Structures are given as structure tokens and as C-alpha cells.
Amino acid sequence: MITRGRRNPAARRESLSQCGAAPILKPMRRVAIDPIMTAEPAPPARLCDHPGCEAGGEFRAPRSRIELENYYWFCIDHVRAYNSAWNYYAGMNEAEIEAEIRRDTTWQRPTWKLGMRHGPAYEARMRDPFGFYAANSGKAGKQRRAGANGSDVASRVASAREQALSVFDLDPPFTQISLKARYKVLVKLHHPDAHGGDKEAEEKLKIINQAYTTLKASFFA
């Protein structure tokens, strides 16, 4: 028969003393903690374009009325100063300002007098496989109408100037500034570099350059 007796407390203390100091009483190694550091602010992506300003240029402003898509980048103080001094019509005389305002009233789009349905050289761009338009509005139609009215009206021939206006999609009056702005838009749109060196774009660019030369000689010589 097995008897279960109580453990001797003295014997238990003796067994613990043989193991040395209790683990919970040993000194613990102090864990090093990194000191709290304040993060430095990130440098601005771009500097203000105002001379001598080292602030960030976060606000854009157009360089001029001709380069409305090219911008200066200013800080908040300098962009306010630039905008307050901005004058879109600087350097233009009264006639050029009036012509520009008239074009702005139609959103820089060509317009025609009442009764004139189509713009310059429209017949050359219109597809008329059945000849309906040519029969009424072409050279033969004009001759018939002239004969019926008893008047000798010569047929209208598209001149080099009219062809250039058609290329630029412009109608007079227009300013030299608006002509140059339209030329830059067309060159950017049809430049061969933007089309992988395409030959057709190269020929189109030659036509645009010739039309630009013709319009400058015709209206601003």
C-alpha cells in the first residue's frame, strides 16, 4: 500500500537553493530604444522662378499671351504679384486689341457674313460624288445664275491666299499674334517628330510653312 504524505517544506527550500538565484530575481538586460527624431521636411519639387526666391514653386502662371501653355512656377506670394501685374493686351495697339476682342466673342473660331454658308475653299474640301453641289454652287451653277440674272459674274477661283486661309482655318480680320499662335498649334500637331517621322506629316508641315509665309506676305507685308 502506497501512502501519500505531505512534502517537507525544508527539503523544498533546500532544492531551490541548489539552483542558485531565482530567474525572476536576476537583473534584466536593458533594451536600447532609439530616441525620437523629428523628420525633416521634404525639399520642394521645384523652386520658385522669381529671382532670389528659395521657396517652393507650387503655383503656375502663363509666360505670355503667345505661350499660354508654357508656365512660370511661383510661390504663393510671387504668383499673386505676377497675376496682379498681368496684362494680356500689353504691346498691342488699339486696332489689334479690337480685332482680338472681336475674335474672342466667337471663341477664336471663324465666322461668315449672313448668307455665306461655307468658309474659304469649302468646295475643294467637300465630297460630292453625285454632283448635286457642283450643279448648284459650282462654276457651272454660278454661270447659269449669272446668265439668268443678266449679269456677267466671273467664277471665283481659289487663290494662294484663300488656300492658305483654308489650311489655317482662319478668316480675316486677324492679328499677327493670333496668326503666329495658330501656326504654332498646327506645327505642334503635325510635326513629323510627333508622328514617328511619318512622310505624310512631313508633307503637311511643308504646306503649313508655305501657308504661313503666304499669309504673312498678304496681310502683314
- Looking at the fold, whether 67 and 142 belong to one and the same domain comes out as no
- Looking at the fold, whether 80 and 138 belong to one and the same domain comes out as no
pLDDT of residue 156: 38
Q: Is the pLDDT of residue 70 over 60?
A: yes
- Looking at the fold, whether 163 and 60 belong to one and the same domain comes out as no
Contacts of 110 (CB under 8 A, 6+ apart): 119, 169, 170, 171
Q: Tell me how far apart the alpha carbons of residues 103 and 98 are, in angstroms, rounded to a whole number.
A: 9
- Looking at the fold, whether 105 and 208 belong to one and the same domain comes out as yes
- Give the helix/strand (H/E) hosting 180: helix 176-190
Q: Is the pLDDT of residue 35 over 50?
A: yes
pLDDT of residue 153: 35
pLDDT of residue 151: 44
pLDDT of residue 72: 94
pLDDT of residue 36: 60
Higher per-residue pLDDT: 29 or 92: 92
Contacts of 121 (CB under 8 A, 6+ apart): 158, 162, 163, 165, 166
- Looking at the fold, whether 79 and 188 belong to one and the same domain comes out as no
- Looking at the fold, whether 162 and 191 belong to one and the same domain comes out as yes
- Looking at the fold, whether 50 and 128 belong to one and the same domain comes out as no
Higher per-residue pLDDT: 129 or 116: 129
Domain that holds residue 61: 45-86
- Looking at the fold, whether 98 and 183 belong to one and the same domain comes out as yes
Domain count, the chain: 3
pLDDT of residue 194: 81
Average pLDDT (72-87) is 94
Average pLDDT (26-38) is 63
Average pLDDT (37-62) is 84
Q: Is the pLDDT of residue 174 over 60?
A: yes
Distance from chain centroid for Cα 198: 23
pLDDT confidence bin for 78, thresholds 50/70/90: very high
Q: Is the pLDDT of residue 137 over 70?
A: no
pLDDT of residue 74: 95
Q: Tell me how far apart the alpha carbons of residues 27 and 32 are, in angstroms, rounded to a whole number.
A: 15
Q: Is the pLDDT of residue 157 over 50?
A: no
